[in-house]
Amino acid sequence: MGTVTVVGSYVVDLMSRTPHMPKVGETVLGGPFRMGPGGKGGNQAVAAARQGSQVTMVTKVGKDDFGVIARQNFKRENIDTSYVLVDNVESTGAALIAVDNNGDNMIVVALGACGKLSAEDVAQTEEAIKNSSIVLVQLETNIEAVQKTAEITKRHNIPLILNPAPYQEFPREILKAVAYITPNETEATLLTGVKVTDEGSALQAAKVMYELGVPNVIITLGEKGCYYYNGGEKGILYQGFKVQAVDTTGAGDAFNGGLAHALAEGKNLEEAIKYANAVAALSVTKVGTAPAMPSKQEVADFLKYFAKD
C-alpha cells in the first residue's frame, strides 16, 4: 500500500444547479442545493484514499460545526486526521459552486482557516512527510505552506506533485523541488506566459516548466486527456476517456489524487497517467466533488471495460 500525504485546503462545498450561468446582476432560479466536503486538498485526499492509498491530510479548519464535520468525513474515508489543525479565529472555508446544464461550473472560494495554514504548521508534519511514498500539494493555501512542504520533501528526497491550482504567483525556486507538475491549460498559460490551446502550444509551455526545473510536466486538457513532457523534442498526448459528463467540478482533483495513488503504488508514469485519467473521467459522471470520487473497484471495472475496445 502506498502512502500519500496531501498538504492543502479543505472547504465546505455549497453547490447548486443552474439552467445557465448568471450574468452580472442577474438572479437565476436553480436547484437542487447540495452541501458536502470539498477543497482541492480534501478532494485529492479522498480520491487517493478511495483507491486504497494510506493518506494523511494536512490542513486547517475552524472551531465550528463545519470543522467537526470535516474531521468526521476524513475519518469516514480512512484518512489520517492527526494533522488536521484547528484555527481558533477563522471559520472553516467554503466554496460557492454553480453547475449549469452542460456540467460546466463557476466557483468562488473563501479559504477561511485553511488559508491560514502556515510554514510552522507544515513543519510539524515532517515525520509524516518523510515517511510518505509521495506528497501532493496545491496553491489553495498560503504559499509559505507550499514552500515549507517543498523544502521538507527535497530534504528527505520524497517525490512532490505540485498541482498549481487555483493559480497564484509563487517563488519559482519551489519548482526545483517538484518531481511532477500538473497544471490545466489555464494554469499552464499563467505560469509560463504561453497560451495553451493545442498540442503544439502545450509543448512550448511544458518546455518552459521543464527548464524551470520540473523533470515531469503533465498538462491536463479536460476530456482530451493530458500532455506529458520530460525533455527532448516533443512530449506525449495521452487520450482521455469518453464519458457523459454530469458535473466537471473536481475532475482535476480526481486526476491528481489518482495520479498520486498510482505513483505511490509503484506504477510507471504511463500507467499512472492512464489510471489518473480513468479516476477523473469517472468523477465527472456524478454530481459533487469529494462525494463523486470513484472507488478502486469502479476504476478497475472501468479500465477493464475500455481494455476490451
Q: Which residue has the cell 510507471?
A: 268
How far apart CA 27 and CA 47 sit, in angstroms, is 34
- Is 121 assigned a catalytic role? no
CB–CB of 216/178 below 8 Å? no
Whether the CA torsion 132, 218, 259, 123 is positive or negative: it is positive
Dump the DSSP string for 190-255.
HHHS----SHHHHHHHHHHHHHTT-SEEEEE-GGG-EEEE-SSS--EEEP------S--TTHHHHH
Q: Which of 80, 87, 121, 253 is catalytic?
A: 253
CB–CB of 117/141 below 8 Å? yes
How far apart CA 59 and CA 72 sit, in angstroms, is 14
75 is in an annotated binding site: no
153 is in an annotated binding site: no
Q: Which residue has the cell 521538507?
A: 152
247 is in an annotated binding site: yes
288 is in an annotated binding site: yes
131 is in an annotated binding site: no
252 is in an annotated binding site: yes
Among candidate residues 130, 204, 205, the one with its CA nearest the CA of residue 167: 205
Distance linking the first and last C-alpha atoms of the chain? 30
11 is in an annotated binding site: yes
283 is in an annotated binding site: yes
How far apart CA 272 and CA 244 sit, in angstroms, is 23
223 is in an annotated binding site: yes
How far apart CA 114 and CA 60 sit, in angstroms, is 5
184 is in an annotated binding site: yes
198 is in an annotated binding site: no
3-state SS, residue 181: strand
249 is in an annotated binding site: yes
309 is in an annotated binding site: no
253 is in an annotated binding site: yes
Annotated binding residues for substrate, as ranges? 11-13, 39-43, 140, 253
Annotated binding residues, as ranges? 11-13, 39-43, 140, 184, 220-225, 247, 249, 252-253, 277, 283, 286, 288
Annotated binding residues for ATP, as ranges? 184, 220-225, 252-253, 277
Annotated binding residues for K(+), as ranges? 247, 249, 283, 286, 288
Active site residues: 253
